[in-house]
Amino acid sequence: MSAEVLIVGAGPVGMTAAIELLRRGVDVRLIDRSEQRTELSKAVGINVQTLELLQASGLTDRLLAAGLKIRAAHLHLDGTPLADLDLTQADHRYNFLLALPQSETERLLEARLGELGGRVERLTELTGLGQDANGVRVTLRLPGGGTETMRVRALLGADGGRSTVREALSIPFLGARYEEQWSLADISVDWPYGMDAVNLFLSRGGDVLFTVPIGPDRIRAISQTAHVLELLPSGSTVTGTHWESQFRVSLRQAERYQEGACYLAGDAAHVHSPAGGRGMNLGIWDACAFAERYSAGTLAGYSAERHPIGARILGITDRMFRITALEPGLAQSARNFVLRNIVPLKPVQRLIAPNLLGIER
Ligand SMILES: Cc1cc2nc3c(=O)[nH]c(=O)nc-3n(C[C@H](O)[C@H](O)[C@H](O)COP(=O)(O)OP(=O)(O)OC[C@H]3O[C@@H](n4cnc5c(N)ncnc54)[C@H](O)[C@@H]3O)c2cc1C
C-alpha cells in the first residue's frame, strides 16, 4: 500500500477530508485529474456549520479574515420592500453568513494541506476500481500518460456530481433535473441596496433574483431564469461583469454513500439547487464526518449517518426553491402575507436566522 486512504477529487470536499485525516496522523493520498484549482467563484456562502467544523484545523480564522460577514437579508416583492431578516438574532458567536468565493476557499484549504505535509497530485485520474477481501485496488492515469495500480484500505470519492467512483461502484444517483435554466453573474454594480446584505428579489410573475456580496465592490447575482441581469432592480447600473454562466440544476442523492471500503462525499453523494447555499457546506460536513469516523474505526456507520442528513438538506433546498419561485396564485399570496406580516416578528426571526445560517443543534 502506498497510502492508507485514497481521496479522489481535490475540490473543497476532498481537500477538507485530506486535511482532517492528516491532522489525525493518517497516511493519505489526494488526487485530482485537473491541472489546477478552480478559479471560479462557484459556492460563495460559508455557513456556521462549516466555520465550526474547520475550527480544529485552524482554517476558520483564515476564512473569517478573508470573507465578508453578512448579517442581514432584505426581501423585496416587485421592487418594493417586503421584509428584513436580522441574522444576528441567531444565538451563536457566528451570527452571520460568511461570503467568500470558492476559489479563495480552495486556496486556503490547499495552503493548510501543504502545511500539514499533504499535496494534491494533479493530472492524476482514477480510471479503475475494484475491491476484494484485502481492500481496494485502483488504477490511476498519471501525468504524462503512464498508469499506476495501488491498494488502499479505504477510498473516498469526492469527485463531484459526475463521480467516477460512484459509477464504478454502481451506486444509483436517484432524483431528477429541475426544468429551469438557471443563470448567474458576478458583477460590479451601482445600486441603492448597499454591499453588506443578501437580497432576495421576488416577483409576482415567479422570477427570482438572489444577490450576495462577494467583495467590497462585487456581488453574485443568481436566478432560476436564463436572464439574471435583466432581473436587476431599476436604479442598478452594472459597471463590470466578471463571470457569467448558465446552468441546469438537479436534485439527486446517491442511494447509499458506501460500498465495501469505498465511500462517497460532497457532490459525488448529493447535488441540489443553490437555494440556501448548502452544497459545499454539506460536502465539507461529509468530509469531516468521514475523517472522524475513519480515525475512530466507525466507518461502518458513515452512510447510515450521512444519508439521512443529506436527504434532509436536499428537502430544505427543494422547499426553499419552490417557495421562492411560486407562480401567481393562492400559495404565492399566502407566502407574501407571511413574509410581510409574520417574518418581521422578533420571535420568528430568532427561529429563522439559525436555519438560514446552517446552525445545527
Ligand atoms: C456555477 C456554479 C455555482 C455554484 N454555486 C453554489 C452556491 O452558491 N452555493 C453552494 O453551496 N454551492 C454552489 N455550487 C456547488 C459547489 O460548487 C459544489 O457543491 C462544490 O464544488 C462541491 O465540492 P466537491 O469537492 O464535492 O466537488 P467538486 O468541487 O466538483 O470537485 C471534484 C473534483 O474531482 C475531480 N475529479 C473528478 N473525477 C475525477 C477522477 N476520476 N479522478 C481524479 N479526479 C477527479 C475534479 O477535477 C474536481 O476537482 C455551485 C456550482 C457551480 C458549478
Domain 178-248+325-356 in this protein, CATH class: alpha beta
Q: Do the domains spanning 5-68+100-176+251-324 and 178-248+325-356 agree at the CATH topology level?
A: no
Check pocket membership of 20 for ligand 1, CB cut-off 6 A: no
Report the alpha-carbon distance of residue 254 to residue 72 in Å, rounded.
Answer: 34
| Residues 266 and 12 sit within 8 Å (Cβ to Cβ) | yes
| Residues 63 and 38 sit within 8 Å (Cβ to Cβ) | no
- How many secondary structure helices (H) and strands (E) does the chain include? 9, 20
Ligand 1 centre from 267 Cα, in Å? 6
Check pocket membership of 337 for ligand 1, CB cut-off 6 A: no
Q: Are strands 218-223 and 237-254 parallel, antiparallel or unpaired?
A: unpaired
Over residues 166-189, the pLDDT tens digits come to 999 999 999 999 999 999 999 999
Over residues 1-60, the pLDDT tens digits come to 478 999 999 999 999 999 999 999 999 999 999 999 999 999 999 999 999 999 999 999
What are the residue ranges spanned by the domains of the chain? 5-68+100-176+251-324, 178-248+325-356
Ligand 1 centre from 37 Cα, in Å? 11
- For residue 75, which amino acid is it? L
The neighbour count for residue 143, using CB atoms within 10 Å, is: 12
Report the alpha-carbon distance of residue 204 to residue 80 in Å, rounded.
Answer: 12
Domain 5-68+100-176+251-324 in this protein, CATH class: alpha beta
Which residue matches cell numbers 484549504?
109
Among 232, 266, 182, 327, smallest CA distance to 7 is for 266
pLDDT mean over 144-164: 96
- What is the pTM assigned to this prediction? 0.96
- Give CA 70 to chain center in angstroms: 17
Check pocket membership of 259 for ligand 1, CB cut-off 6 A: no
For a substitution probing ligand 1, which of 15, 16, 20, 33 has the most ligand atoms within 8 Å of its CB?
33
